[in-house]
């Protein structure tokens, strides 16, 4: 083995094998003369930057300069992109060409590997503070919760649980425009996160359920005419705005029981949005789902 080959192997151990013991290393096999390689390179660099906090590292291997390494991986065409963990090839990413495609593949790989990047470590560090913010919010002190989550957002701007809690606190404080800005800043590929979806549901409810000055009048209308679905819908919105989710659920369930198809199922849609805004794992939601099932199928 030549001195150059020994040096290449040592460099590969240092740059790839050792980091891969606790990180996912993306290997990009490329060459100066390869047009597709040059097109893919900035895509991989952006992905590596955005996933660095999740424990992902990019290493480029020039096949002309590191022929031994390319031969060891049996690279027959370029660009070839592999993912390596703990010294083992765990995935072939070559077929992916866009950030979205590569990101989806990385997300799937990372879910299966015991990798804790700096983002996860930071989340663990601030988890007690997130729990405190949620407790304060559940206790009804929205402005204090906003203060807690605002500080957390400065510490961990990419943390989805912080963003979701911050948005819900702002909504509870009546600052819906600010909440919308927080949610709009969440990357599109993270929009399906359960916490973010819950916050968006809460924002939707806040937009629909404005404060009602005369809840008593609406209750009287419903009492006088139980089939007045418009009054029921407005009453449910007013009750939600007042923080009375039990009352809102009762009204909406009553509306569904009388006419589930009214206004294209508006009462059921609002009730489901209320469930999502509360949190689908919440015991209250489970109890209300059973009530809804009894109405629909009983």
Q: Compute the mean pLDDT over every residue in the chain, rounded to the nearest whole number.
A: 91
For position 60, what pLDDT does the model report?
A: 95
Residues 6+ apart with CB under 8 A from 152: 126, 129, 130, 133, 159, 162, 165, 166
pLDDT tens digit sequence for 123-147: 888 899 999 999 999 998 999 999 9
Catalytic residue status for 37: yes
Which residue among the candidates 8, 16, 26, 37 is catalytic per the annotation? Answer: 37
> Strand ranges (DSSP E) for the chain?
24-30, 56-62, 80-85, 88-92
Residue 237 has pLDDT above 80, yes or no: yes
- The half-sphere exposure of 192 on its side-chain side, counting CA atoms within 13 A, is 1
Residue 178 has pLDDT above 60, yes or no: yes
Which residue among the candidates 16, 26, 27, 34 is catalytic per the annotation? Answer: 34
For position 2, what pLDDT does the model report?
A: 79
pLDDT tens digit sequence for 254-280: 999 999 999 999 999 999 999 999 998
Residue 116 has pLDDT above 80, yes or no: no
Residue 6 has pLDDT above 90, yes or no: no
Residue 291's CB is within 10 A of a number of other CB atoms, namely: 16
For position 211, what pLDDT does the model report?
A: 54
Residue 220 has pLDDT above 80, yes or no: yes
Residue 208 has pLDDT above 80, yes or no: no
Rounded to an integer, what distance in angstroms lies between the CA atom of residue 221 and that of residue 216? 9
Rounded to an integer, what distance in angstroms lies between the CA atom of residue 205 and that of residue 209? 6
Largest CA distance in the chain: 95
Structure tokens belonging to residue 276: 């999502």
Instruction: Check if the beta carbon of residue 161 is closer than 8 Å to that of residue 195.
Output: yes
Residue 246 has pLDDT above 60, yes or no: yes
With a pLDDT cut of 90, the percent of the chain lying above it is: 73
User: What average pLDDT does range 174-194 have in this prediction?
Assistant: 90
Report residue 181's pLDDT band, with 50, 70 and 90 as the boundaries: very high
User: What average pLDDT does range 70-84 have in this prediction?
Assistant: 93
Report residue 153's pLDDT band, with 50, 70 and 90 as the boundaries: very high
């Amino acid at each position: 083995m030549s001195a150059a080959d020994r040096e290449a192997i040592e460099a590969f151990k240092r740059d790839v094998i050792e980091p891969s013991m606790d990180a996912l290393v993306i290997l990009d096999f490329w060459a100066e003369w390869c047009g597709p390689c040059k097109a893919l390179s900035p895509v991989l660099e952006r992905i590596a930057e955005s996933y660095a906090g999740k424990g992902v590292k990019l290493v480029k291997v020039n096949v002309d300069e590191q022929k031994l390494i390319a031969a060891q991986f049996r690279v027959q065409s370029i660009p070839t992109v592999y993912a390596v963990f703990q010294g083992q090839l765990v995935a072939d990413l070559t077929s992916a060409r866009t950030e979205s495609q590569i990101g989806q593949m990385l997300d799937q790989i990372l879910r299966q590997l015991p990798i804790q990047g700096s983002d996860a470590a930071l989340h663990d560090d601030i988890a007690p503070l997130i729990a405190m913010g949620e407790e304060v919010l559940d206790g009804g002190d929205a402005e204090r919760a906003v203060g807690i989550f605002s500080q957390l957002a400065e510490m961990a701007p990419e943390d989805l649980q912080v963003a979701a809690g911050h948005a819900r606190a702002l909504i509870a404080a009546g600052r819906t425009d600010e909440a919308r800005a927080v949610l709009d800043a969440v990357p599109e590929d993270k929009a399906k996160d359960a916490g973010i979806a819950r916050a968006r549901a809460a924002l939707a409810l806040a937009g629909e359920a404005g404060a009602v000055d005369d809840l008593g009048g609406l209750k009287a209308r419903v009492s006088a005419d139980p089939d007045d679905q418009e009054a029921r819908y407005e009453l449910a919105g007013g009750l939600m705005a007042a923080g009375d989710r039990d009352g809102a659920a009762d009204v909406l369930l009553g509306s569904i029981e009388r006419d589930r198809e009214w206004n294209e199922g508006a009462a059921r849609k609002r009730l489901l949005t209320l469930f999502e805004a509360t949190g689908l794992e919440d015991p209250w939601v489970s109890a209300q789902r059973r009530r809804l099932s009894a109405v629909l199928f009983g």
